[in-house]
Amino acid sequence: MIDVPLVAQELSVATSNAQQAIDRLVGDGVLRLIGKGARDRVWEAAEVISALGGFAKRARRRTV
């Protein structure tokens, strides 16, 4: 999950540029908004979360 301040900090860009990048990723279907609030918005990459869940399931099946 990400938010605008995190993206701005990690990319060393202004929050307005971070928001534009997030908006583009939302438009491309990479991110989706979680919740409906106008403030403190958070986005997730559902495919990444799904892939991590699949990895976790496979990892639990391993025997040592």
Q: Can you give the residue ranges of every domain in the chain?
A: 4-61
pLDDT value, residue 38: 82
The pTM of the full predicted model, rounded to 2 decimals, is 0.76
Check: CATH 1.10.10 for 4-61? yes
What distance in Å separates the CA atoms of residue 28 and residue 30, rounded to the nearest whole number? 6
**Ordered per-residue pLDDT tens for the chain, 64 residues:** 999 999 999 999 999 999 999 999 999 999 999 988 888 899 999 888 888 888 888 888 666 5
Nearest residue to 7 via CA among 49, 43, 60: 43
